[in-house]
A and B are shown apart, each in its own frame.
Chain A
Amino acid sequence: MNKEDENTPGPMTDLLEFKKHLPKERILLDLALIAAGFVLLAPILNVQRVTDFMIFCIFVLSFDLLYGYMGRLSFGHMLFLGAGAYGGGLCIRYMTKDPLLAVLAGIIMAGLLAMLLGIIIVRTTGACFALINLAFNQVGFFLVLSVLREITKGEDGIGVVPAGLGWLNLGSRPVMFGFVLFFLLLVFYILRRITTSPYGILIRSIKEDEARVKFLGYNTFLYKWLTYVFAGCVAGLAGTLSALNYGYVNPNFMDTHRNVDVIFAVLIGGAGNLYGSIIGGVVYMVISNYLAIYIPRWEMFLGISLLILVFRFRQGIWGFVREQGSRRSVRGEIGVKKG
C-alpha cells in the first residue's frame, strides 16, 4: 500500500486532503468521550448490563466494518461471535485459565474460521453473500449443538471461569467493566485508524463500485478477504468477552435468529459510521433490556421497526444528528456518499 499512497491520483488524493484535517487529539477526545459515556451510564443502569452493552458495541462495530464500510450485508455474523465465544471458552476449560490467552484464542479461532470461509464467501455479493453467511452460521450452530457434543457439551454449554488478571479479579463487576472498556476503546481506535487509512478508502470504494476499483489495478478479492477476516476477528473478540462476562458459553451464542439484532443496531445507529455503531449498539441494548417488557410481541416490533428504518429513516440516529448540524462542517466524514 505504501508505495501507492504518496502520489497516485484517485481515491488517495481524497485521503491526503483529509489527513491534514485529522488531528491526533481528535481521536483521543473521541475515545475519552466514549469512555466517559459508558462510565457515567454504568451507575445509572447496572454495571454488568453496561458491560454487556459495550460487548455488543464491539460486535456492532465489527458488523459495521463489513456492512457499513464494505457494503456486504451478512446474515450470519453470529457465527464469528459464537466461534470466538467457544474459542475462549474451550481454551479456559481445557488449556489455561488466563483471560488474555482466552481472548487471544477466541480471536484466533474466529479469525481462522473467517480466513477459511472467507475464501468462498467474499467471492459473492448482495443476496448470495447474506445467505451464504446464514447457511454457514446454521452449519456452525449444528456443529456445536450436536456434532461436536463431546467437546462443547451440546445444549448445556460449558462454564467459563477465568483466573484473575494479575492481582485483579475478573469476577468482580467493575474489573470486568474496565477489561471490556479497554477492548472497546482499542477496537474503536484500530477501526478508526483503519477506516481513515488508504485501505479504508479502498474498501469504501469497493462498496461504491467494485468494477472500477478493479480497473484501477487493485486486487479487490484480497481486500475483501482481509476485511472479512478482520471483521471476523473483532466479532470473535466480542464473543470471548461475552462468554467471560456471562461465565458460560452455549449454542445460543451462535443462534442464527439473533443476527437481526446486529443489523437492527447498525441501521438504527447509522451504517458506515463508527459513532453510529456505538449509538446503535447502546440504543438496541436499552430497548431489548429495558423496554422489551412493555412490548408484548417482540419479533413483530423488530420487524415493523426494521421496515420503518428501511423506508423512512435510512440515515440512522447518527446521520439524523449530523443532518441537523450540517451547517457546521463535519470533518469526520470523507467525501464518499453513503449508499
Chain B
Amino acid sequence: MINTIIYGLTIGAILYFISIGLSLTFGTMKIVNFAHALAYTIGVYMLVTFLPLVKGNFVIAALISTAVVVPISYVIERFIIRRLYGESLDYAIIATYAVLLIGVDLIKWIWGVNPYPMSDPVGKYLSLGGLTIPVYRIVIVVAAFLLFVALNFFFKKSIMGKIVVAALEDKDGVRCLGIKVDRYFSMVFILGSALAALGGVLYAPITSIHPYMGSMVLLLSFSVVIVGGLGNLNGTFVSALALGLVMSLTARYWPPGTETMVFIVMAIMLIIKPIEV
C-alpha cells in the first residue's frame, strides 16, 4: 500500500512538472498548447541522445536536454503562437496540433518508431521495514516539492513572477500599466516548455519511450489543469498529486481503468464547477 502511494506521488510529481506550463499558458493566453506534448517528447529524446555522449551522467544529460528545448519552444512561440494572439482560439489549437504532428513525424524520422529502453539512473533501493522503494522515485517527488517552493518564491517575490500573476488575473489591466505583457507571456511559455521537458526527462527512466508518448501525458496533465483550476498554481500542485494517487490506486485495483479514472474525476469536477473561458 505504501508502495502504491509512493508510485502515485511519483506520477503526480511528473504530472506537476508538465502541467505547470500548460496551466500558465492556459491561464494567460487562453490557448491549449498541443505543442507542449512536443516539448516533453523532445526532452526525452534529447536525453536518450545525450546520455551516451556524457558517459551516462544523468544530471548533465538532463540539463542539456532541458536547455535544448528552450530555443525550440522560442521558435514555436515566436512564429506560431504570437501570430495567433487575439485570433479565434480554434486556430491556435489547430496550429499547435499541426506543430505537434510535424514534430512527432520529425522524431519518427530521426530516431525511428521503436521504443527505447532506459534504466533507472540511481539504481539503489531504500529498504524500510520490509518495503523496498526505488530511491529514484523519492528523488522525483522531492524535486517536485522543490519546484513547487521555487515557483512559489518566483511568483511571489520576483518582479517577472508578479507581473505574470497579475496578468493571470487581469491581462488588460497589466497592459494599461505600460507593461509589455506579451513578452512576459512568451517567457512563461518557454519556462513552461522547459519544465515539461524536464518532467519528460525525469519520467523517461520509468516509462516507455516512443514518439507518441506525449499524447497521453498531455491529456492527463490537461485533466490536472482542469481539476486544479486554470492558471491556479497551488491548485495545479494539489491536483497533480491527487490525480497521481488516483492513478496508482486505480492501477492497483483495476489496471485497465488507470487513465479512464482520471478523466472520470475530471468529468465530475466539470459537473460540479463548469469552466467559463
Contact = CB atoms under 8 A, between A and B. Distances in A.
B102 A139 contact: no
B223 A147 contact: no
B270 interface: yes
A303 B105 contact: yes
B37 to A, nearest CB: 11
Contacts of B277: 124-128
A71 interface: yes
Given A142-B259, A299-B101, A300-B102, A123 B94 contact: no
Nearest to A145: B256
B222 A67 contact: no
B215 A67 contact: no
A321 interface: no
Interface string B73-106: 0000000100110001111011101111110111
Contact of B215 (A73, A128, A256, A302): A256
B171 interface: no
Contact of A263 (B88, B94, B104, B105): B94
Nearest to A149: B256
A146 B30 CA distance: 35
A311 interface: yes
B31 A127 contact: yes
Contacts of B90: 67, 71, 73, 126, 130
Q: Interface size class for chain A? A: 35 or more
B251 to A, nearest CB: 13
A120 interface: yes
A134 B109 CA distance: 26
Contacts, number: 119
B102 A128 contact: no
Given A73-B93, A135-B223, A297-B105, A303 B98 contact: yes
Contacts of A151: none
A108 interface: no
A288 B249 CA distance: 43
Interface in B217-249: 219, 222-223, 226
Interface in A119-177: 119-120, 123-128, 130-132, 134-136, 138-139, 142-143, 146-147
How many chain B residues sit at the interface, stated as a range, is 35 or more
B30 A127 contact: yes
A132 B219 CA distance: 9
Given A131-B32, A138-B216, A138-B219, A124 B274 contact: yes
A311 B30 contact: no
Contacts of A297: 105, 109
B267 interface: yes
B222 A135 contact: yes
Contacts of B52: none
Contacts of B257: 147
A125 B32 CA distance: 12
B interface, by DSSP: helix, strand, loop or mixed? helix
B275 A142 contact: no
B53 interface: no
Contacts of A304: 98, 102
Contacts of A36: none
Interface in A39-71: 67, 71
Given A120-B270, A124-B274, A135-B222, A142 B105 contact: no
A132 B98 contact: no
B274 to A, nearest CB: 4
| Most B Cβ at <10 Å: residue of A136, A302, A307 | A307
Contacts of B222: 131, 135
Interface string A183-207: 0000000000000000000000000
Given A120-B271, A126-B90, A128-B277, A306 B97 contact: yes
B95 A306 contact: yes
A67 B105 CA distance: 27
A306 B270 CA distance: 31
Interface string A250-263: 00000011001001
Nearest to B222: A131
A182 B47 CA distance: 55
B101 A302 contact: yes
A267 interface: yes
A146 B276 CA distance: 35
B99 A303 contact: yes
Interface in B101-121: 101-102, 104-106, 108-109
A120 B30 CA distance: 20
Nearest to A306: B98
B155 interface: no
Nearest to A296: B109
Contact of A134 (B102, B219, B274): B219
A144 B89 CA distance: 32
B207 interface: no
Contacts of B275: 123-124, 128
A75 B105 CA distance: 19
A14 B106 CA distance: 49
A71 B89 CA distance: 10
From B88, B101, B109, name the one whose CB has the most chain A CB atoms within 10 angstroms: B101
A33 interface: no
Contacts of B185: none
A339 interface: yes
7 contacts: A73-B93, A125-B277, A132-B226, A299-B104, A300-B106, A303-B100, A304-B98
Given A124-B277, A306-B101, 8 more contacts: A120-B271, A127-B26, A134-B219, A139-B263, A300-B102, A302-B98, A306-B95, A311-B95
